Every structure is written in C-alpha cells, then in structure tokens.
Structure 1
Amino acid sequence: MFRLAHISDVHLGPLPPVTYRQLASKRITGYINWQRTRSRSFHDGALGAIVADMKEAAPDHTAVTGDLMNLALAEEIAVSRKWLEMLGAPADVSVVPGNHDAYVPGALRKACEAWRPWTEGEHGWAKTNVNGFPYVRVRGRVAIIGVSSARATAPFLATGSFTDEQGRRLGRILHRAGEEGLCRVVLIHHPPVRGADPAHKRLYGIGTFQKVVRRHGAEVVLHGHTHLPTLNWIPGKGKSQVPVVGVAAAGESLGHEKPLAQYNLIEMEADEGAEWRIRLTRRGLVGPTGRVEQLSQQELIEPAKRAEATA
C-alpha cells in the first residue's frame, strides 16, 4: 500500500514588507485582501498543527497543490522554498503552482526555479515546458504527475489555464504509465470540473483536460484552489470514472466561510485483479485548540459501481 498526503493553499504568512513600487500592479488588490481577511483567517499555528499531524502519519510521499504564497514577492519565494525544505526531502515531496504563485508576470518562472528540486521528474517520459511541466515522478508502483494551471491574470481574476500543448504531453505520460500498470495520480491547482468555481476563478481548458483523461485514463486527480474538501467524478477511459479530490486550505484558522485547515491521506493498493483501490481519509482541525482529528474516511468507488453494489 502507498500512502500519499495531500496539502494545498498554504498561503504562508505574514507578508514581508511591501514597497509602493511593488504595489503598483495587481498586488495592490492582493495586499488589501490580505490585510482585510487572510491575515486574520490564515495562521501559522493552524498550518503547523496540520503539518505535524501529517508527518506523524508518515506518508510515503507528500503532494502540495499550489498557493504557497500570497503576492509572489521575492521574499515569499525564498520563504516558500525554506518551507518545502522543512516539509521533506525533494524526493519525498512534489509541488505544483497555484494562481497566487503566479500573481504577476515573471513570478511563476522565479517560483518554479526555486522549487525545481521538488518538481524534477523522470527523464524520457515527455517534454516539459520552460517551468518544468508536466512532470512525472515514479515512486514504487505510483506515478505522481504534476501539471501547471497557474498563470498571471488581471486584477480581480484568479483563473487558470490548461493548454492543448500540455494536454498532449500529459496524454503521453498517462498512456505510458497505464501501460506499465502504475497508479496515476495527477496534481493540478485549479479543479478540472465544470461549475466547481465561479467564472472569475475557473480553469480555462477543462474540456481539454477531461478529454485527455477520458482517452488515456487516470486513477485520481488532486487539486486545491477552492479551499473546500470536495469529491467530484469525471469520465475516464472506457466506461470508468475518475475521482477528482479537493482539500480545505492548510492554514485556515477561523473557518467563518471555509472549513478549518485540513489535509488528505490517499491510500492506494492494487487488488488481485490489478485494479487500484483508493481510500480517502480527511484529517483536520476540530476547534481553536489546534487539535487535529480524522474527519471522514471513504473508499473511492465509482458512483455506478456503488449503485450496483447497493441495488
């Protein structure tokens, strides 16, 4: 059995000092949002409790699905790298960027350069773009596949993008990993599900992403962005369906509009028929004391198969 921890939307704080020149961009809206809400709702104590509990669970690997930063300042990029170093060795942690990590033009490239040890994939699987995506990291019988939906956007927008070019490369990875009998775990920041986000936060290229998964298959897709512990299903290869799992923000400490900080544990094991069984456990804060407990646990059984079993 392979155990994968899934954490997202860390939003490391507090913000470093910000100059007027740095605020002469989209960052002004993010700075105001931080001062009004996020500085109060995101707290290092919540994140610390989540990470401590996650490390105690001793997963085989950890996936971080974006938004490590707030405004993608140079100081934040440096802090995010130090946080990744604390989280685990590059071989044991994989990361993909979120919209806050690409807050202004040029920030995404700098962040990906700093995070390169945690995105370095296997050679010979598929070409990567300038930022190193999509990548594949094979751990045992599991293929951890990172794609990027992050891009710089105009003020008041938090949209993402999944391009045809990245789709073609992802398709080659999914095909080969499927041929080799690997459990294919796809990491992306924005949810590749229609209606999961309002228009100003949605992913452009949902159809492209779903077409690739429908053609080549996958076992599970993990995402962040919504700050919600969600479970959706999209069409997979043949008549199969693929679970798309979201997670609450890892640093949320108030929970007024969104759930308190959580993380996921994904356990994957092949049965005798070589089909992958996947179990999802959600763990998170249960109150202001910083106590982390199990919130739910379920087998990720396709809705059609679950209906057949209960008929």
Structure 2
Amino acid sequence: MTDILIAHASDLHLTLDTLRIRARDLLNKRALSYLSWQRRRLIHRTDMLRRVMADITAHKVDMLAVTGDLTNLGLPDECAQAARWLSELPMPVTVVPGNHDALVSSDWHQSIGRWAPWMGPLPFPFVRRVGPVALIGINSAHPTPCFQASGDIGAHQAARLADALEETGRQGLCRVVMIHHPPLARLTPRRKSLRDADRFAACIARHGAELVLHGHTHVSTIATLPAPDGPVPVVGVASASARSPDPARAASWNLVHISPAANGGYRTEITRRIMLPDGRATATPPIIFTPAASSPVHSGISTPR
C-alpha cells in the first residue's frame, strides 16, 4: 500500500469584496449574514487563506478535503466564484457543503451543484477513492430559520451512510467521513449543532470508520466516537481564512497521513499546521491513531472535555 496524504481544510469563507450584491439578494435570511460579514470580513482574510493554500501545496498532498462553508451567503455568484477557485487548485479536491453554502433554498445547479466535479456520485453520501482511502461525503447543510445554523443528515442519508461504510469496510478501505457539522453535541451550541448527532453516532458505532473530518466550529479540536474496532477520531479544524492570535482559532489545516498499521488496518497520523498573524507558521506534534487504540499516542490538538 502507498501512504496517502490528505489535507483537511474548512470554512474558507471566500471574500465577497469582488462580487456585486444586489438588494434583492438580501430579502431573506441572507440579510443577517451580510450584516455579520461586515464584522467577519476583518477576521476572514484572503491573505491568510493564501498562506494556508501555499503550505498545503508545498506538502504535495494526494487530496484536499474541504468540509464546507466556501461561501458566506450561498449566492449563485459566490458558488460560481468558489468553483473557479477550486478549478485553479494544483491538487485533487473533495468538497461537502456547509450551512453558509445552503443558507436559503436555491437552485441546485446554480449554487452547490456547481461543485459537482469535486464531489462523488450523488445522492449523498458520495464515495470517492484515493488509493486505499474511501472519502465518504455527507451533506448536513440545509436551510434553517433565522438565528439557526444547525444541520442534520436525515434517516435516508443515514441508511445510505450505513451501506457505504459496510461496503467500503468489506473492501478493506480506510473510511474517512467528511461532514460539515461536528457529530458530537458538546462541540457547539444547540442552535448550531447537528440535530441528529445520535443517529450519526449510532451508524459509526455499528458499522465503524477510521476517521471523521468536520468544520463549522472555527476551532481546531479532536474527539472520538465509539466503534466496533475501537474509538474513531473526530477531527475539526479552524477556519482556513481566520486571522487570530489564538492558535486554536488561527487559520489552519490538518495534515492527515494514512499508512498501513503493523497489526493490520490503518495508522492515522494527524498534524495541525497553523498560520499565525505575525507571519509565522507552526505545527502541533502529531497525533497517532492505530486500530483498537483506546487513545491517541500523543495529543497535540486541543481536546474538548
């Protein structure tokens, strides 16, 4: 087996500054998000995202996994801008949508559907192969009322997820699940949570996985979910465009190194790469998960309690 390197980034929030926002675009929930952007534009910076992408490119990864929120308002022009951005990247990319990408009901082909070249066969969850790795993409992002940013996977998608995990597991693949909302209730307030996190957790507990990647919280975290062959790491990452002096919130990406384990299965090594606002780049010590391990070998990423 060839080792596989995956870069995990999330919550890019590509700038609105180059787009024309019309008044009619804001006659819905987008108005609140647009007002919020006037504050967040000072945090989500194009220069920080460029540094993240330059660092990812330098590591020559086999795949970039983006767990949602490429946009701010989910406008068709934003989705088109994000598609152009994706098309110019020098590495393969897999994308799942975030809540900002599905802020209000929109025509699929004019919005998130523009990113179909960077997804697998739909409907969700899709499966994309990278050597012995199966990227399984979940859609947890659906329009919600004002002041809500929650998500869900639903019963039908959960049933298909169970089938995908079972089939890729039978094939002996390393199963990496991508989802925008964190699938543990304690990681975010209720109004921003995955409403059916218990359904997701039950699916993992029954069918297993090797890794879950998520975004949404804008904080780098690591936790676990129980599964038949041992705990499954659940890894979140800060926004890839955030300017912050706090290392847990500063623009970051996760380098995921997947290799064969000595006793069978897969060894997963996770290193967080952090872009500090003073121009320095730093990295956490790697966290290593092996099959049936009860805990990571080393914890260098902030772990929620």
The alpha-carbon distance between structure 1 residues 138 and 234, as it changes in their structure 2 partners (threshold 3 A), is same
How far off is 1:257 after superposition?
10
Q: Is the 8 A contact 1:7 1:64 kept in 2?
A: yes
Moved more, 12-21 or 294-303: 294-303
The structure 1 residue matched to 2:283, chosen from 279, 284, 294, is: 294
Q: Tell me whether 1:43 sits opposite 2:45 in the alignment.
A: yes
Q: Is the 8 A contact 1:70 1:101 kept in 2?
A: yes
Unaligned runs of 5+ residues in structure 1 are 122-127
Separation in 1, partners of 2:247, 2:277: 15
Deviations 1:185-237 (A, max 9, x none): 00000000121110110011111111111111100000000011100111112
**Which residue type is aligned with residue 270 of structure 1?**
P
Q: Tell me whether 1:224 sits opposite 2:227 in the alignment.
A: no
Q: Is the 8 A contact 1:50 1:292 kept in 2?
A: no
The structure 2 residue matched to 1:263, chosen from 253, 256, 262, is: 253
The alpha-carbon distance between structure 1 residues 55 and 79, as it changes in their structure 2 partners (threshold 3 A), is same
1:20 — aligned with what? 23
Q: Is the 8 A contact 1:67 1:97 kept in 2?
A: yes
Q: Is the 8 A contact 2:289 2:296 kept in 1?
A: no
Q: Tell me whether 1:56 sits opposite 2:45 in the alignment.
A: no
The alpha-carbon distance between structure 1 residues 307 and 227, as it changes in their structure 2 partners (threshold 3 A), is closer
SS at 1:161 equivalent: coil
1:42-191 aligned within 5 A: 42-88=44-90, 92-106=92-106, 110-121=110-121, 128-129=122-123, 133-191=124-182
Q: Is the 8 A contact 2:11 2:69 kept in 1?
A: yes
How far off is 1:14 after superposition?
2.8
1:243-262 aligned within 5 A: 243-255=233-245, 259-262=249-252
Deviations 1:101-159 (A, max 9, x none): 001111656333200111133xxxxxx43xxx110011111101101000011111101
The structure 2 residue matched to 1:205, chosen from 184, 196, 199, is: 196
Deviations 1:151-198 (A, max 9, x none): 011111101111110011011111111111100000000000121110
Deviations 1:227-268 (A, max 9, x none): 111001111125x11110000100001347962100000011
Separation in 2, partners of 1:24, 1:258: 35
1:274 — aligned with what? 264
Give the number of equivalent residue pairs. 295
SS at 1:21 equivalent: helix
Unaligned runs of 5+ residues in structure 2 are 299-305
RMSD: 2.1
2:303 — aligned with what? none
Separation in 1, partners of 2:296, 2:86: 41
* Alignment TM-score, normalising by the size of structure 2: 0.91
Moved more, 112-121 or 296-305: 296-305
How far off is 1:288 after superposition?
2.7
* Alignment TM-score, normalising by the size of structure 1: 0.89
Structure 1: 4+ residue segments shifted above 6 A:
none
The alpha-carbon distance between structure 1 residues 302 and 274, as it changes in their structure 2 partners (threshold 3 A), is closer
Q: Is the 8 A contact 1:102 1:108 kept in 2?
A: no
Q: Greater helix share, 1 or 2?
A: 1
SS at 2:166 equivalent: helix
Separation in 1, partners of 2:175, 2:187: 22
Q: Is the 8 A contact 2:288 2:296 kept in 1?
A: no
2:301 — aligned with what? none
Deviations 1:51-103 (A, max 9, x none): 000000001111000000000112111110011112246xx210000000001
**Which residue type is aligned with residue 50 of structure 2?**
G
Separation in 2, partners of 1:307, 1:70: 35
The alpha-carbon distance between structure 1 residues 112 and 75, as it changes in their structure 2 partners (threshold 3 A), is closer
**Which residue type is aligned with residue 240 of structure 2?**
A
